[in-house]
A and B are shown apart, each in its own frame.
Chain A
């Protein structure tokens, strides 16, 4: 009976709720479309022939799917005078990104561990300076860094670029790990000290095994930064050591002959694939790691 009495207003509000929900979906759908459109254009264009691009509609699906542009982009496109495609530069990027990501993550973990669990004189100032490092714009360090690389004798080399990215990344990775490790109770390291473990032993046996979520965060963050970097890549490389972002720029900007949009698009997608892959593989750990709290002992 009472149900009956209050039924009309309730069903009304329910209709409103459903309406609002649909409106929300439509808006979200439109946004998704808007953001996916460039990707759609890139993929379809990369699968078309030059002929079709010139005559056809930008939005249309390819009439005839061809992977020629991808082949050219990978191993035949010209970057200036050389015509080896993006392949060598792709491997350059791998050779730069993988060690730089691993080294900066490891150093960040170690720094975070020290700042969070080994209170030394000036620890707070040290950490504040590290944080400050996160906010220094790339452009500011270009000239001093060039000088340092020159003095170290690794200017224009891949180890040089690794060094630059490690230095620039440590601020961020230290921040990640420090914030994660302060949530780990200090009694844990005290127990290990009484058990006889030293500085490194406690790090390897107790802290690192607990760190998977934050390691994933650090790897995704660092990989994205380093793989997508253009400024350091273009400033501190020479012929033969350029990363893929620089090569892509050169392909797109080389003005000899006709503009091969399909090749440009294919090269751009190849350049973006690894970061995409990292997100898909490790994405769910990323969110989990960012929100991970303390270890319930």
Chain B
């Protein structure tokens, strides 16, 4: 079957400014694609191009196997939820939801039936006669979802739909959207600048920066094998530790040397024989540095480090040290005995590390 959405070599300019550069993405039926990146990187622009609200400058865009270049938004069989919700202020909730059907000449009975169905699904039945101005942020969000759901489109587009909600509601709605996706089996493209939202919702993530795609992959791929320093730094919280290091191949494996402020450098041995340049950036997730007894992994290597800061965070305690001239965070158990200003035995799990070239920022392993 043809992919639901297929974008090939898409470019988008505003005047002389190139906003999107050589975008290639495709998704299959039922996939949940998340576009993630810092604000201003062109996520909304790409979504608007998919919706047909902005013309594309070059390239091809297919939805459901059909070339969309000259197809207007209303004929693309899509529905869109906007960041500001964009509810029609003078219409009631019911009118907001049925407006699209009314414009398309769907008969009254069908309109009412679908309205009731969606209202039940989203639990907004008691709000149908209110106007958007009389709703809370969360309720508006639901209505905006309702307006999209009622269309039953081939492809859903979401532009940061949760970014105007407070933290607690955001988490709740995130779960609801995920549940909705699983129940409907619908295809979705979802824009966010929040990497946690991306990780939790996506079946496929596209990381963007400055209008260029940095990496496409499943959440696990993106998290475990970031393609470059930008992705490594952007995805994950706390961010991946990116430590300048020197490497030396020694037959059985690779010696990795990390400078320290006080005392001799830490030397770790990566048992895999990798073909690395002398200077690398070592990428280690905070959870891959821990107390030795908690990390009885084959690939773990212990070293003694001076702890600078201890930050308890409930389930975990984060400790911060200085290694290779960088702040390095380790995720320890909440019952850790680590003390600021004291030395602490820590195990580095080298099974999952990433190596990056310092000059290009590209992944080396």
Chain A interfacial positions (CB closer than 8 Å to B): 185, 187-188, 190-198, 201, 205-206, 209-210, 295-297
Query: Is the pair B80, A197 in contact by a Cβ cutoff of 8 Å?
Result: no
Q: Which one of B86-94, B247-255, B336-344, B355-363 contacts A?
A: B86-94
Interface size class of B (residues with CB under 8 A): 20 to 34
* Chain B neighbourhood of A297, CB < 8 A: 84-87, 89, 132, 140
Query: Is the pair B88, A194 in contact by a Cβ cutoff of 8 Å?
Result: no
Rounded to whole angstroms, the CA-CA distance of A261 and B83 in the bound complex is 67
Query: Is the pair A205, B99 in contact by a Cβ cutoff of 8 Å?
Result: yes
Specify the chain B residue showing the minimal Cβ separation from A208: B90
Query: Is the pair A194, B89 in contact by a Cβ cutoff of 8 Å?
Result: no
Rounded to whole angstroms, the CA-CA distance of A92 and B133 in the bound complex is 44
Shortest distance between the CB of B294 and any CB in chain A (Å): 49
B78 at the binding interface (Cβ < 8 Å): yes
Contact of B80 among A194, A205, A209 (CB under 8 A): A194
Shortest distance between the CB of B227 and any CB in chain A (Å): 32
Rounded to whole angstroms, the CA-CA distance of A198 and B104 in the bound complex is 11
Rounded to whole angstroms, the CA-CA distance of A151 and B161 in the bound complex is 58
Rounded to whole angstroms, the CA-CA distance of A191 and B51 in the bound complex is 10
B66 at the binding interface (Cβ < 8 Å): no
B103 at the binding interface (Cβ < 8 Å): yes
Query: Is the pair A210, B99 in contact by a Cβ cutoff of 8 Å?
Result: no
Specify the chain A residue showing the minimal Cβ separation from B90: A209
Contact of A197 among B51, B79, B87, B103 (CB under 8 A): B103
* Chain B neighbourhood of A198, CB < 8 A: 74
Query: Is the pair B73, A194 in contact by a Cβ cutoff of 8 Å?
Result: yes
B100 at the binding interface (Cβ < 8 Å): yes
Shortest distance between the CB of A212 and any CB in chain B (Å): 9
Rounded to whole angstroms, the CA-CA distance of A296 and B131 in the bound complex is 12
Contact of A210 among B83, B85, B90 (CB under 8 A): B90
Query: Is the pair A196, B104 in contact by a Cβ cutoff of 8 Å?
Result: yes
- Given known contacts A209-B90, A210-B90, is B85 in contact with A195 (CB within 8 Å)? no
Specify the chain B residue showing the minimal Cβ separation from A185: B84
* Chain A neighbourhood of B79, CB < 8 A: 194
Shortest distance between the CB of A97 and any CB in chain B (Å): 29
* Chain B neighbourhood of A197, CB < 8 A: 74, 99, 103
Query: Is the pair A191, B74 in contact by a Cβ cutoff of 8 Å?
Result: no
Contact of B147 among A187, A195, A206, A210 (CB under 8 A): A195
Contact of B74 among A193, A210, A295 (CB under 8 A): A193
Shortest distance between the CB of A119 and any CB in chain B (Å): 11
- Given known contacts A205-B99, A296-B133, A297-B132, is B86 in contact with A191 (CB within 8 Å)? yes
Shortest distance between the CB of A118 and any CB in chain B (Å): 12
Identify 5 new A-B residue pairs, CB closer than 8 A, beyond the known A187-B84, A193-B53: A195-B99, A195-B100, A195-B103, A198-B74, A205-B99
Query: Is the pair B74, A190 in contact by a Cβ cutoff of 8 Å?
Result: no
* Chain B neighbourhood of A191, CB < 8 A: 80, 82, 86-88, 147
* Chain B neighbourhood of A205, CB < 8 A: 88, 99
Per-residue contact bits, chain B 92-134, to A (CB 8 Å; 1 contact, 0 not): 0000000110011000000000000000000000000000110
Specify the chain A residue showing the minimal Cβ separation from B85: A297
Shortest distance between the CB of A297 and any CB in chain B (Å): 5
Query: Is the pair A188, B78 in contact by a Cβ cutoff of 8 Å?
Result: no
Query: Is the pair B89, A201 in contact by a Cβ cutoff of 8 Å?
Result: no
* Chain B neighbourhood of A194, CB < 8 A: 51, 53, 73-74, 78-80, 100
Rounded to whole angstroms, the CA-CA distance of A201 and B100 in the bound complex is 11
Rounded to whole angstroms, the CA-CA distance of A185 and B85 in the bound complex is 11
* Chain B neighbourhood of A187, CB < 8 A: 82-84, 86
* Chain A neighbourhood of B89, CB < 8 A: 188, 210, 295-297
* Chain B neighbourhood of A295, CB < 8 A: 89
Q: Top 8 nearest A-B pairs by Cβ distance?
A: A195-B100, A196-B74, A187-B86, A191-B86, A209-B90, A196-B103, A187-B82, A194-B80
A/B interface sample: 26 pairs, CB < 8 A: A185-B86, A187-B83, A188-B86, A190-B48, A190-B73, A190-B82, A191-B87, A192-B88, A193-B73, A194-B53, A194-B73, A194-B74, A194-B79, A195-B74, A195-B100, A195-B147, A196-B103, A196-B104, A197-B74, A205-B99, A206-B88, A206-B90, A210-B89, A297-B87, A297-B89, A297-B132
Query: Is the pair B53, A190 in contact by a Cβ cutoff of 8 Å?
Result: yes
Shortest distance between the CB of A191 and any CB in chain B (Å): 4
* Chain B neighbourhood of A296, CB < 8 A: 89, 133
* Chain B neighbourhood of A206, CB < 8 A: 88, 90
* Chain B neighbourhood of A209, CB < 8 A: 90
Query: Is the pair A190, B86 in contact by a Cβ cutoff of 8 Å?
Result: yes
Specify the chain A residue showing the minimal Cβ separation from B83: A187
